[in-house]
Amino acid sequence: MSETEAVGFDRLALENGVFETRLTAKYVARKPYEKKDPRVVKAAIPGVVAEVRVKPGHAVRRGDALLVLEAMKMLNRIQSPLDGTVKAVLAAAGEKVAKGQPLVELE
Amino acid sequence: MRREGDVMNFVQRIWEFFSRKSTAAQGGGDKAILKQKASGKMTARERIAALLDPGSFHEYDLFVEHAGKDFGMADKELAADGVITGSGLIEGRPVCVYAQDFTVAGGSLGFMHARKITKVMDHALKMGVPIIGINDSGGARIQEGVNSLAGYGEIFYRNTLASGVVPQISVILGPCAGGAVYSPALTDFVFVVDKISRMFITGPEVVKTVVGEEISMEELGGARVQVETAGNAHFFARDERECFGQIRKLVSFLPDSNRRKAAVAAPKAPKAAYKIEALIPKDSKIPFDVRDIVRALVDDSDFFEVQEHFAPNAVTGFGRIEGETVGVVGNQALYLAGVLDIDASDKIARFVRFCDAFGIPLVTLVDIPGYLPGSDQEHGGVIRHGAKVLYAYSEASVPKITVILRKAYGGGYIAMCSHHLRADFVFAWPTAEIAVMGPEGAANIIFRNEIMGADDPEEMRRVKIKEYTDKFANPYVAAAAGYVDAVIPPGETRASIAHALKVTRDKEEARPARKHGVPPF
């Protein structure tokens, strides 16, 4: 009946102290925050790489198209977020990419 | 001669009627019915029979014919156009019901199919009785094109008009995909059954092609996912029979419409096994199951939980006190210390609004340490979701009775139907800790300099935490300000709530004129 005698509680730290409790599966599975690295250009939506417009060593300016990603029936120009040089191209034309997959690395 | 002909004519007509009726009642025919049963599902007619009081179902529109003209549909006969509609009784009280028949064209929704549904919905709304929809459909009847979409739209519109007027219940007993999911989503309670229910906007195939994720139907939108993760469904059953039992039980707690009060049952004392003093751990750091506290308070210890599997850090459900239906909300310290987070806020706010719409008094049991910290919460919009709780409680004009059991800190204290959001009665147990912050957090801020400057900061921290605890971690500071109406021993909780329900029975509260508010949806 009462579950209060159960042993083995987890501990949860909150603003108001540390509490004995149980964690939910959803809480345990939560994604930790990841700091964004502007030098790694990732696919914001899943799709197919239609065209790659840069090669390693290319100098790019902010706003230049790095590649074209076909997703949700649209051709999306993926732009460089900064002025720099292409360090690596991580996806090829025709390749299916998942959301969050790195496409181009800049430096 | 003429007389004899009349008799023949009469007999023929009666015979024709039974023949037509039995053909229509056979749905998609033996083969399709066998297939339905092989997949562990009941037929639409069996479902209605299992849901309603025996023999109480009266069918409407059995002879409605579908309106498809194109793609060879004109010559096809679809029994009852794939949906059975009518009215019946649950424990003697009238309800309107419809059940999609998957054996007829996959339960697909055509124009006339939808019109049968909207007709019975209109009926429920006009008569002021609950409407229960059993969904088992492959989706839009593609051959009927945009007329099928029109049908969905008409249903959604009526779901919205009926919201807060008659209780609306959806039962998912098969696929319910694409636009079809929005009717259940607009209703008050969604029931699902393990391995049978499937709800999603886009199915696994689309997910795979577009997003590249490989996921099964069960994992994407099965019953468990809907009740545990997504929170779209409210009740989970292992099989269809259990599900219909749950629906009947839910209906027993509800009024027929917002024009009536929920039926009052014969009062019953809580079961002897639930003694409130015995349920409270001596150590205030050890959590208890707040559902046991509820069972110690409600008639026959019968607490019917809503969304049991979603956001278990909050508890919502129905019970009775002295025979009268109450909606109970509680923070559940057993999970995540009972914090408010995005999911718990949604769960509480929606439940509170349902109770308010249908005149069901609210009993709130407070044991809240605060809100859940984290980037996932902040980025997920915990501010606007959390605000729903404040909105729902402030907006509610039904009797509002609050009992503060243990922790009531900070914003959580305000949100959980405090005096400030116009609770009619706020009771607090002697174990209540009503304060702007928990002792640890507060001591660290107020006494920062003393702690940092001490020879032994840890010792000083302990001293200061104790100082704060002694002074503020109790119900008396709030009681001194009149924010708590009475400090009561736990053993008097049920009697205090029962008294409050009597006093608030004819509560009236004026509100400013407006079309409607703008809650933080």
Q: What is the pLDDT of residue A3?
A: 44
Q: Tell me the nearest-neighbour CA distance from A16 into chain B, angstroms.
A: 4
- Residues of A within 8 A of B229 (CB-CB) are 26
Q: What's the gap in Å between the CA of A60 and the closest CA on chain B?
A: 29
- A63 CB contacts (<8 Å, ≥6 apart)? A79, A80
CA closest to B339 among chain A residues = A14
The structure tokens listed for B433 are 């800790």
In the block, tokens 């929170």 appear at B231
Query: How high is the pLDDT of residue A1?
Result: 39
What does the pLDDT average to over A16-44?
90
The pLDDT assigned to B406 comes to 95
- The proportion of chain B whose per-residue pLDDT surpasses 70, expressed as a percent, equals 99
pLDDT of residue A2: 43
| Average pLDDT of the segment spanning B360-384 | 95
User: What was the pLDDT predicted at A5?
Assistant: 47
Q: Return the pLDDT at A17.
A: 84
The pLDDT, as a whole number, for residue B300 is: 98
- Average pLDDT of chain B, as a whole number: 94
Across residues B277-296, what is the average pLDDT?
91
pLDDT in the model for residue B423: 98
| Ramachandran bin of A13, using left for φ above 0, alpha for ψ from -120 to 50, beta for the remaining angles | beta
pLDDT at B514: 95
Q: Give the contacts of B392 (CB within 8 A, at least 6 positions apart).
A: B348, B349, B350, B352, B353, B356, B519
* CB-neighbour burial class of residue B71 (10 A; exposed 0-12, middle 13-18, buried 19+): exposed
Cross-chain residue pair A16–B409, CB shorter than 8 Å: yes
Q: Tell me the chain B residues in contact with residue A18 when contact means C-beta distances shorter than 8 Å.
A: 440
Which range (B44-58, B190-204, B277-291) has the least confidence? B277-291
| pLDDT for the residue B71 | 87
More confident residue, B60 or B440: B60
Provide the shortest C-alpha distance from residue B76 to chain A (in Å).
36
Give the tokens for residue B296.
Answer: 């110690």
Cα separation, B310 vs B232, in Å, equals 9
At B439 the pLDDT is: 87
User: Residues in chain B, how many?
Assistant: 521
Residue B292: list chain A partners with CB under 8 A: 1-4
pLDDT at A52 over 90: yes
Q: What token pair was written down for B460? A: 């000083």
Q: What is the interface size between A and B, counted as CB pairs within 8 Å?
A: 102
How far, in Å, CA of B223 to CA of B184, rounded? 14
Q: What is the pLDDT of residue B43?
A: 96
| Residue B236: pLDDT over 90 | yes
Helix ranges (DSSP H) in B128-256: 146-162, 182-186, 204-206, 217-221, 223-225, 240-253
- Say what the pLDDT of residue B1 is: 54
Q: Enter the tokens of residue B145.
A: 């094109």
pLDDT at B501 over 80: yes
Binning pLDDT at 50, 70 and 90, where does residue B224 land? very high
Relative orientation angle of helices B439-446 and B457-472, to the nearest 10 degrees: 120
DSSP structural state of residue B229: I
Which residues of chain A are at the B interface, by a Cβ-Cβ cutoff of 8 Å?
1-4, 9, 12, 14-27, 30-33, 46, 72, 96-99
Query: pLDDT at position A71, please?
Result: 85
Closest CA to B317 of B284, B282, B350, B339: B350
Test mutation, B208, B332, B339, chain A, max A CBs within 10 A: B339
Return the amino acid letter for B279.
Answer: L
CB-side exposure of B288: number of CA atoms within 13 Å?
A: 26
- Give me the domains of chain B, ranges plus CATH numbers: 26-253 (3.90.226.10), 276-436+474-503 (3.90.226.10), 439-472 (no CATH)
B503 touches chain A (CB under 8 A): no
Residues of B in contact with A15 (CB under 8 A): 370-371, 373, 410, 437-438, 441
At A30, list the tokens: 């939560």
Q: Which helix (H) or strand (E) holds B345?
A: helix B342-357
| B30 vs A9: CA distance, rounded Å | 54
The first and second tokens of residue B183, run together, are 């009717």
Interval B159-193: pLDDT, tens: 999 999 999 999 999 999 888 999 999 999 999 99
CB count in 10 Å sphere of residue B183: 22
Q: Is B330 left (phi over 0), alpha (psi -120 to 50) or beta?
A: beta
Tell me the C-alpha distance between B68 and B60, whole Å.
21
pLDDT band at residue B2 under the 50/70/90 scheme: low
- At residue B74 the predicted structure's pLDDT band, cuts being 50, 70 and 90, is confident
Q: Which of A4, A12, A99 sits opposite B289 (nearest CB)?
A: A4
Is the CB of A14 less than 8 angstroms away from the CB of B228? no
Highest mean pLDDT among A65-74, A89-98, B227-236, B368-377: B227-236
Residues whose CB falls within 8 Å of the CB of residue B453, separated by 6 or more in sequence, listed in order: none
Strands B58-60 and B83-90: antiparallel
**Domain extents for chain A?**
40-106
pLDDT of residue A34: 85
Taking residues B60-83, report their average pLDDT.
88
For the ranges B278-292, B440-454, B499-513, the one whose mean pLDDT is highest: B499-513
Nearest Cα residue in chain B from A72: B210
Which residue reads 């909050």 in tokens? Answer: B314
Mean pLDDT (whole number) for B361-365: 98
Three-state DSSP state, B435: strand
Residue written as token pair 């939560």? A30
Cβ contact (<8 Å) for A4 and B335?
no
Q: Return the residue of A nearest to B435 by Cα.
A: A16
Q: Mean pLDDT throughout B113-131?
A: 97
Q: What are phi and psi of B405, to 5 degrees?
A: -85, -55
Identify the residue among B210, B214, B342, B379 best suited for mutation to test binding to A, counting A beta carbons within 10 A and taking the highest.
B210
**Cα separation, B449 vs B451, whole angstroms:** 5
| Helix residue ranges per DSSP H, B366-456 | 375-379, 382-395, 410-415, 439-446, 448-453
Q: For an interface test with B, which of A14, A49, A70, A97 has the most B Cβ atoms less than 10 Å from its Cβ?
A: A14
Distance from CA of A34 to the nearest CA of B (A): 10
pLDDT band of residue B414 (cuts 50, 70, 90) is: very high
Q: Which fold has domain A40-106?
A: OB fold (Dihydrolipoamide Acetyltransferase, E2P) (2.40.50)
Kindly tell me if the per-residue pLDDT of B89 is higher than 90: yes
Q: Which residue in B334, B346, B469 has the most chain A C-beta atoms within 10 A of its own C-beta, making it the best mutation to test that interface?
A: B334
SS3 B470: helix
Contact A4 B375 (CB under 8 A): no
Write down the pLDDT at residue B13. Answer: 92
Task: Tell me the chain B residues in contact with residue A3 when contact means C-beta distances shorter than 8 Å.
Answer: 289, 292, 334
Q: Which of B131, B139, B142 is nearest to B180 (CA)?
A: B139
Give dist(CA A51, CA A77) in Å, integer. Answer: 9
Least CA distance to A17: which residue of chain B?
B440
For A13-17, A93-97, B183-187, B292-296, which range has the lowest pLDDT when averaged over its residues? A13-17
Average pLDDT for residues B185-203, to the nearest whole number?
Answer: 96
The rounded distance, in Å, linking the Cα atoms of B430 and B419 is: 18
**DSSP secondary structure letter of residue B336:** G
Token pair of B280, please?
A: 């409270």
Nearest-Cα residue of chain B relative to residue A73: B210
Residues 6 or more apart whose Cβ sits within 8 Å of residue B323: B264, B265, B266, B267, B268, B299
- How many CA atoms, within 13 angstroms, populate the side-chain half-sphere of residue B370? 20
Q: Where are the alpha helices (DSSP H) in B231-307?
A: 240-253, 276-279, 290-297
Q: Closest partner residue to A22 among B334, B371, B374, by Cβ?
A: B334
Output the pLDDT for position B201: 93
| Subunit contact A33:B376, Cβ cutoff 8 A | yes
Q: With left for phi above 0 and alpha for psi between -120 and 50, is residue B374 left, alpha or beta?
A: left
Q: In what order do the strands lie in the sheet with B93-100?
A: B58-60, B83-90, B93-100, B131-135, B168-172, B189-193, B235-237
CB-based contact, B475 to chain A, within 8 Å: no
From chain B residues 421-440, the ones with a CB under 8 A of any chain A CB are: 437-440
Partners of B371 in beta bridges: B340
Structure confidence at residue A4 as a pLDDT band (50, 70, 90)? very low
Cross-chain residue pair B335–A24, CB shorter than 8 Å: yes
| pLDDT, tens only, B430-462 | 999 999 988 888 888 899 999 999 999 999 999
What mean pLDDT do residues B194-202 have? 95
Are the Cβ atoms of A22 and B439 closer than 8 angstroms? Answer: no
% of residues, chain B, pLDDT over 90: 83
Q: What's the average model confidence in pLDDT over B282-300?
A: 93
Rounded (5°) CA angle B218-B219-B225? 90
Q: How far apart are the CA of A69 and the nearest CA of chain B, in angstroms?
A: 13
On average, the pLDDT of chain A sits at 89
- What is the residue type of B332? Q
Confidence at residue B166, expressed as pLDDT on a 0 to 100 scale = 98
Q: Which two tokens stand for residue B100?
A: 């999609």
The pLDDT of B205-227, averaged and rounded, is 90
